[in-house]
Structures are given as structure tokens and as C-alpha cells.
């Protein structure tokens, strides 16, 4: 079991889905959480739930698209909780768009959150970790960050980029004893995936239930992954048990992608 007692963790996109479950799991292992989300109400609900269970959490409104927001988030967390030990870059969006219908606005919208969001938040957090010569950074990629799927070119590109940033950061900051790894979820029933599957169902002219069944049917283990499955991998990578692991991208996808 990971021991995160005394650690301060920041989770972006912490107000729902995988982010919310990651906050709960890290708190369960003893970390104090900064639940960061552009939706402050959602972040507050997650933080209140953690506090009600005896954990420590603070909601922080954070727009990952803005470097100033990242800097303000770090200042707020350091003031309210302490120096940041763990950063989980989880905030992300997805939408199915056929390639010939993909316009610049949609490309820029998704890249601003999925790629620049990792860039800006990590740039704001890393200086403190460097000063302390200690830190864990975990970036949320995807099964499509290793093998692209049709209809999701911009999303796939963003998640390949996250793995590239993970490797580059791991090499650049290894000398400061900062580990940087990525997690690649497969099919997880979250609000983001629900919206994608609804799009797929509409395009195929089938029910949402049938689309989910077909989607899960592509998983060798025959079942979707849970947010808890993903969060437990994050907790492991955040712990001392993973102290000699960096620059890797770990699959949590039921065997959909095995590289």
C-alpha cells in the first residue's frame, strides 16, 4: 500500500471523473489534496467529500490554459497546504471529429487544455521541486497516446505529445531527483467518455447502450476500466515504491494496447 502521509498533492481536472477519484485515492493514502478545476463548485464538492472522510483537501479554481492561473494556483497551495510534492496533470478534453471536418478552433481548444495545460502547470510547479530536489509528476495520457484511432486525430496528437513531454521532463530533471511518468487509461466510464460514446452512437445509428457494449468489446479483458484502477496507478507512481521509475508510460487499459 502506498504511504503518502505528509505529502502535498495537486490534481488538475480534479472536479470529476478520473481526477476526482485520484484525489480521493491519494487522500486515502494520506496526502493532503489541492483539488484543482476550472469549475470551482465541482472542486469544492470533491474537497468537501474528502474532508468528510477525515482527509485534508482544498478546492482551487485553476484554468490550465493560462500560465498566470498556474502560478496563482501554486501560490495558493503553498500558502494553504505547503510545498507541492506531487503533481498530477489530469485535466483534459476529448471530442470525436472526422479529420476533414477538424477546424482550427477545435484544434486550438483541445491543444490548449491537453498540451499547454500540462506545460503551464508543470512550469509553475517544478521550481519548488527543483529547490527541494524531490518531486513526483504524473501526466495523464491515453491508450490513444500510443496508437491512434480514426476520428480523434487531434485528441490522439495531444496524448502522444503528453508522452513526449513526459520523457523530455524525466530526462531533464532526473538530476533533481524528480520522477516524471505518464498513465495511459483505456475505456473508463467517465463524463468525458460518456460524451464521446454518445457521439459514436449517433454516428453509427445505434443506442448509447449498444455503442458502450461495442466499445468495451474491443478490450481483451472484456471489461471497462474504472477510475479507481487509474487512480491506484497514479498513487503507486506518486509513492516511494516508484522511486526508481521515470520516463515511462503505464497502460491501464485491459490489454487494448500492450506497448
DSSP annotation of 98: -
Q: What is the pLDDT of residues 225-240, one digit of tens each?
A: 999 999 999 999 999 9
Q: Could you give all domains of the chain from N- to C-terminal order, each with its CATH number?
A: 8-187+225-252 (3.40.50.720)
Q: Give the residue ranges of DSSP H helices in 53-188.
A: 67-80, 104-114, 116-132, 153-172
- Grid cell locating 191: 463524463
Name the one residue in this structure whose C-alpha cell is 504524473: 138
Query: Is the separation of the CB atoms in 128 and 171 below 8 Å?
Result: no
Residue 203 CA to residue 45 CA, distance in Å, equals 34
> What's the pLDDT tens digit per position in 61-94?
999 999 999 999 999 999 999 999 999 999 999 9
Question: Over the Cα atoms of the chain, what is R_g?
Answer: 18
Grade residue 206 by pLDDT with cuts at 50, 70 and 90: confident
Which positions are catalytic?
Answer: 155
Tell me the per-residue pLDDT of 17-66, one tens digit each, with 9 for 90 and over.
999 999 999 999 999 999 999 999 999 999 999 999 999 999 999 999 99
Amino acid at each position: 500500500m502506498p504511504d503518502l502521509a505528509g505529502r502535498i498533492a495537486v490534481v488538475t481536472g480534479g472536479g470529476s471523473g478520473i481526477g476526482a477519484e485520484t484525489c480521493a485515492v491519494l487522500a486515502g493514502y494520506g496526502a493532503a489534496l489541492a483539488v484543482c478545476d476550472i469549475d470551482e463548485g465541482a472542486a469544492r464538492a470533491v474537497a468537501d467529500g474528502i474532508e468528510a472522510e477525515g482527509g485534508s483537501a482544498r478546492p482551487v479554481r485553476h484554468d490550465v490554459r493560462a500560465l498566470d492561473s498556474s502560478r496563482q494556483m501554486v501560490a495558493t497551495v503553498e500558502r494553504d497546504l505547503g510545498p507541492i510534492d506531487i503533481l498530477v496533470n489530469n485535466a483534459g478534453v476529448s471530442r470525436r471529429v472526422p479529420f476533414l471536418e477538424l477546424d482550427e478552433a477545435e484544434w486550438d481548444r483541445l491543444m490548449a487544455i491537453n498540451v499547454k495545460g500540462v506545460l503551464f502547470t508543470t512550469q509553475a510547479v517544478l521550481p519548488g521541486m527543483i529547490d527541494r530536489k524531490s518531486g513526483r509528476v504524473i501526466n495523464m495520457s491515453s491508450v490513444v497516446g500510443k496508437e491512434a484511432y480514426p476520428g480523434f486525430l487531434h485528441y490522439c496528437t495531444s496524448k502522444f505529445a503528453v508522452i513526449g513531454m513526459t520523457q523530455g521532463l524525466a530526462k531533464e530533471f532526473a538530476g533533481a531527483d524528480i520522477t516524471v511518468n505518464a498513465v495511459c487509461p483505456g475505456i473508463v466510464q467517465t463524463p468525458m467518455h460518456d460524451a464521446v460514446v454518445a457521439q459514436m452512437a449517433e454516428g453509427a445509428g445505434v443506442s448509447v447502450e449498444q455503442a458502450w457494449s461495442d466499445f468495451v468489446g474491443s478490450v481483451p479483458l472484456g471489461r471497462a476500466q474504472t477510475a479507481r484502477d487509474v487512480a491506484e496507478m497514479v498513487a503507486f507512481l506518486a509513492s516511494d515504491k516508484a522511486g526508481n521509475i521515470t520516463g515511462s508510460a503505464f497502460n491501464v487499459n485491459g490489454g487494448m494496447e500492450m506497448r
